Amino acid sequence: VAGLLSGKRALVMGVANNHSIAWGVARALSAAGAEIAFTYQGEALGKRVRPLAEQLGSDIVLPCDVEDLASVDRTFAALKDKWGSLDILIHAIGFSNKNELKGRYADTSRENFSRTMVISAFSFTELVRRAAEMMPNGGAAITLTYGGSTRVMPNYNVMGVAKAALEASVRYLAVDYGPQGIRVNAISAGPVRTLAGAGIADARLMYDFQRRHAPLRRTVTIDEIGGSALYLASELSGGVTGEVHFVDSGYNIISMPDPRSLQV
Ligand code: NAD
């Protein structure tokens, strides 16, 4: 894959630390020759992201809180200043109040519903709109989603509803930006141990269940998610847009666990 993305510029949003899915994606894009710019949310994470960016030879590391429109505007103004144009946008951002990632979905508060929707779903639309202005030669936008969007996963609750909205946005954005040669896709990843993942109650049970019952009998790595992102970001997937691509060891095809996976 060396050189597959040479001359391309990617903005990677959502690295919190070296366990982040966005970090796996950044590494894969960088290994294929892309130049990477990073954003981080808040100075505490900035301290972690800067040395990671350095590892990939990147010196564009910008603060961005997607809940704050002025912050988003500042980020893109700064990026435009540095680069002028952009080829790839990676959106690996999600948030919901931890207290509502347990128990019943029915008990979700209005306040957390709105906040979860804005940060985890609407931010993608807002970021694609800004990124597209910097993509005169077409490009690729990729977001991260989870199978809790279409099927009920215990405790995923309002985040599942937000992921459903995010996946629908992928399809609408694909239609809006297709004529400009901008492809919009989502990766639906299986459970990964990250900061965000740890916010979901009984996350360990989800990892263990996946490991036992997915067709590949294991969870996925951030490098595997990075590999699929590289495909979606490059001309290898030139004819693909509006898709939700599963990178989940095949878990999504399962209805009932295979009796053989129930034997210890
Ligand atoms: P992570 O905690 O490493 O990354 C989540 C990121 O979202 C962090 O960098 C955080 O700073 C950022 N974020 C939250 N609120 C923000 C805001 N207001 N402004 C800007 N950034 C904000 O966890 P991750 O698991 O790598 O999550 C990345 C994406 O992958 C999320 O959309 C998540 O829902 C999705 N995903 C995760 C899993 C999993 O099991 N970990 C599975 C499928 C999809």
User: pLDDT band at 263, cuts 50/70/90?
Assistant: confident
Pocket probe for ligand 1: among 15, 41, 91, 219, the residue whose CB has the most ligand atoms within 8 Å is 41
Taking 80 as the threshold, does the pLDDT of residue 264 lie above it? no
User: How does pLDDT run across 103-156, given as a tens digit for each residue?
Assistant: 999 999 999 999 999 999 999 999 999 999 999 999 999 999 999 999 999 999
User: How does pLDDT run across 172-181, given as a tens digit for each residue?
Assistant: 999 999 999 9
Distance from residue 231's CA to the centre of ligand 1 (Å): 21
Q: Establish whether residue 14 lines the binding site of ligand 1, counting it when its CB lies within 6 angstroms of any ligand atom.
A: yes
Percent of the chain whose pLDDT exceeds 90: 94
Q: Establish whether residue 126 lines the binding site of ligand 1, counting it when its CB lies within 6 angstroms of any ligand atom.
A: no
- Told to judge if 156 belongs to the known catalytic residues of this protein, a careful annotator would answer yes
Quick one: average pLDDT of 208-231? 97
User: How does pLDDT run across 86-103, given as a tens digit for each residue?
Assistant: 999 999 999 999 999 999
Percent of the chain whose pLDDT exceeds 70: 100
As a residue count, the chain comes to 264
CATH number of 9-262: 3.40.50.720
- For position 2, what pLDDT does the model report? 87
User: How does pLDDT run across 26-72, given as a tens digit for each residue?
Assistant: 999 999 999 999 999 999 999 999 999 999 999 999 999 999 999 99
Q: Establish whether residue 191 lines the binding site of ligand 1, counting it when its CB lies within 6 angstroms of any ligand atom.
A: yes
ipTM of the complex, rounded to two decimals? 0.99
User: pLDDT band at 262, cuts 50/70/90?
Assistant: confident
Determine the atom of ligand 1 nearest the C-alpha atom of 21. 26
Q: Establish whether residue 41 lines the binding site of ligand 1, counting it when its CB lies within 6 angstroms of any ligand atom.
A: yes
Residue nearest to atom 11 of ligand 1 (CA): 41
Q: Establish whether residue 101 lines the binding site of ligand 1, counting it when its CB lies within 6 angstroms of any ligand atom.
A: no
Determine the atom of ligand 1 nearest the C-alpha atom of 200. 40
Domain boundaries, the chain: 9-262
Q: 258 vs 105, which has greater pLDDT?
A: 105
Distance from residue 259's CA to the centre of ligand 1 (Å): 34
